[in-house]
Structure 1
Amino acid sequence: CTRLLESLIMDQTELYCQPTITPAEGEEVDEDADKGQTFMDREVIIAQLFWFSVVWTCGACTDAEGRLFVCDIIRSCLDNKKDLLQKFGFFADFTKVELTGGGSMPSPPRKGLIHDLFVDGNEQGKWKPWTDRITNFDIPKGTPYHTIVVPTADTVRNQFVIRTIIERGYNILISGPTGTAKTAS
């Protein structure tokens, strides 16, 4: 969790935080002038990135049944519903995280699995489907068949997680059964 979370937070830092500049005499520094994001916006995004990282560290190597379980547990944490957590002996004293800046975290859509969603840092940490990241796909004439990779939610998701970690200099090991987009990623 720490490698992915650290990588995602570093990406946010590079995008939205400016180096400290000493203001000219008589000028005031706007602490929230980082590309239109306020402290509250950044706090929400960091909290959302934490939950995204939990999904992709604790729930990445699960099968379909395991993903349902991880999804239910994460939703229980986000909704502060302790019954499911206590049933399985998780976080008996878990209390929903309250944000200090007064913001609230957007809930993931109820339909589908959390694994099918990403946190969009450009939209205040809103959970969106991976399919939103699929760009138009065009196969140039004469392209050898064996080199064609059709973008899917799986390939887009895997490429994002892999690139995020590798671009920060961390190693990653991908495992899974045939047909799970390991090679295409």
Structure 2
Amino acid sequence: MLKSGIAKKLGTNITQLTRYIKENNIVPDHQIGKRYYYNFEDFADFNKVKKVNKSEVKQNETNKVNEINKTNETISFLQKQLEVKDEQIKKLQEQLETSTKSIAQLATQAQQLNLLDKRINREEDLQKQLEQLKEENSQLKQENNAEKSNETALKEKSSEHWWQKIFK
């Protein structure tokens, strides 16, 4: 039989029959010119396969729908998690900004304290220098007084006559 006759008997079209022939590697019984003749008995399983294929297609469609639904659920779950993470990132950025502000304040305070410390150290150094100058001044005064007393003693000795020096 020709493909067209087999297709009419099976209630299908030629393209589905040709696909079935290729999938099942059915070989024609004989050929006359360019026409191929097939044995109708080779197509006994066609309706079974066709029914199975329809049920498989329906199952595949339901599986695809289920997979799409699962994928959509996963996407919505991930979107919710993304929103939560975005909120966490915003909070962390705010904390980072406040931390950087407080660090900047601490840095300025540290600089101010450093300047104050330098001023205090300068004042302490100046006070030490002042004390040293006072000590040196007092030592100079003592030395001056000692020299004056020596000078007065020398003047007194020099003002004494020769006879006063002898009879002392």
Give TM-score, length-normalised by structure 1.
0.20
Larger radius of gyration: 2
Structure with bigger helix share is: 2
Q: Which has the higher contact order (CA 8 A, sep 6+)?
A: 1
